[in-house]
Amino acid sequence: MQSRYIARILFVLLLLLTLPLNHFYNFMALNLFLAYIPFELVLLLPLFVPKRKFEWPLFIVFAVIFILILPNTFYMVTDLIHLNQFGFDIYHGARPTEWMYFTFLVSGVLFALYLYALINMKLLHLTDKPVFNYLIVIILVFTNSLGIFMGRFLRLHTVYLVNQPFSIFRDVMTLLDSRGVFFIFLMTVLQFLFLILIKGVRMVK
């Protein structure tokens, strides 16, 4: 089975699981949806690669949308902080509820990482110029880290970049202190580490 269909099936199954398991993690449905969108967009991206001059405006619009939404995929890794809602006291045995939600949350994170791997494999084969493709991935890693920082600490959604761009810039500059820079650095390291570890994953077809 092609990887795109595996991703789609997993997305539907996880989304269905959010219905009975939304008591503690009611953010999962939205985060799964936002993490999944970039995957479908990257499958369409080659269709927008311009071959003639008049195709550039549409490509630029599509590329900007993709760049703004892409951080939502790796963002799900930071959802692991919500595991702190449970005590996980191992001296009292395995409590089914705690480990059920643990499995649910980690499944969502693993799915997001799977999507992230497929997205980058697709980007690495976007054009017939490998150096250019690698450069795109490297740039997106840094923009992703900034986007994750904005989403986690400023609680900003992608749409705010369209209707409130100046206020977002002000808020980012206010909050982007040494600790914020360190967080962005760590997210960058995690992304590069993950991409190195998944080297060899076959291309999305």
The tens digit of pLDDT for each residue in 92-108 reads 778 888 888 899 999 99
What does the domain layout of the chain look like in residue ranges? Answer: 3-197
pLDDT of residue 140: 97
User: With 60 as the cut, is the pLDDT of residue 204 above it?
Assistant: no
- Take residue 37 and report the two structure tokens written for it: 């969108």
Give a three-class secondary structure readout of the chain.
Answer: CCHHHHHHHHHHHHHHHCCCCCCCCCCHHHHHHHHHHHHHHHHHHHHHCCCCHHHHHHHHHHHHHHHHHCHHHHHHHHHHHHHHHCCCCHHHCCCHHHHHHHHHHHHHHHHHHHHHHHHHHHHCCCCCCHHHHHHHHHHHHHHHHHHHHHHHHCCCCCCHHHHCHHHHHHHHHHHCCHHHHHHHHHHHHHHHHHHHHCCCCCCCC
The tens digit of pLDDT for each residue in 29-53 reads 999 999 999 999 999 998 888 888 8
In one-letter notation, the amino acid at residue 59 is: F
Residue indicated by tokens 């985060």: 31
The tens digit of pLDDT for each residue in 122-173 reads 999 998 899 999 999 999 999 999 999 988 887 665 555 555 655 666 666 6
